[in-house]
Structure 1
């Protein structure tokens, strides 16, 4: 069950009142069993007014109560689909179903794959680049080139950009992500923070477990870097299996 801290983090931008946050928490925890419950029933269950429920839907950007309920049910089904597909498996990432499809499609293009990571994440970026080149993909590490040099100069040939950032807030990586978005270049992100600015910009987000999210300088023992490499290998395996099925590789 989602708790108050999670609700506050996920919907902080909406500036919800205590009553509105309580209603949202109730909906998120019970959406699967509410069926066609109307606004009056939800308000009664939360010991609040129908006006509060309507105000909540407006603050979350919906036209009304029914649209909010429809979207929350959709999100629950998507979340359940992901967890079921990962249950009992050894994958080291979480993503929405379309994320894997975007990864596969990006590699199918057989165009230049740009890769970037800063600090310890550069280790992952270098590994990705070497691995892809070894598999005959055209992969280029952004390395020390400025964003305008790298993205601007290769705009017409870049098929996608893979970005690695533990926090998802590294400014150099964000700059590249923004430039890719403006240029229409697909962005694939490996991060420990799926609520980060980078995650909001990217076309596909692969969330990797981060043992110590607040350890920004990576002083403490952490499996994030290793798990990123494992996640990449797992995605690559899915991609190669798909390519084989289509007869595009041996």
Structure 2
């Protein structure tokens, strides 16, 4: 059976609204096989190839080995207590996120005779004695009694950096806009940073309250219209999930 243009449009409309083949067929007096055949052959309900190319997370193409090894920081006399200062220095080494130094730093921690709790107390006392208030001292010693926190964080940062190098090749390349961002930059729906702000908010350079922030965020999303003038539209739920995963990956990487 040859479908008319109007029938094709109505089938497409109903299918996009979530109606099944059999229900559409009964509603329009058609065979379910006719409806399913049209939907499958039309390409309207298959993934959008252009969308898939743009929003597929890229595979690793480069070496993930760092080109250079970061130099060790100089050892300093801070509190004047050798074990405390040694502990602080090892934490500084860990925070370099340098694979070549991390294992040695962990071994060095095990060799120190002072406990992390004692370091935390000594360093907090030293901060207060040198003019820091209680709040500054508290934040300045946050997690200091838990070296595993810093080691775990360093390993995670090293993993992320390795992924960036493998995909982009370098930090500089990773900071360049991806193709989707370049397209968005040319969208007629793109609004400037002051969009929706009052004169007072522009002058202050800030907005007040979470409700106001969410109000502006919603207004900008509405104004952007999903950048449909430059980005390929998703045809399927798979396309939608793929794009969401891509932007999430790009944000966290």
TM-score (ref. length: structure 2): 0.32
Q: Which has the higher contact order (CA 8 A, sep 6+)?
A: 2
TM-score (ref. length: structure 1): 0.32
- Asked which structure has the greater CA Rg, the reply is 2
Greater share of strand: 1
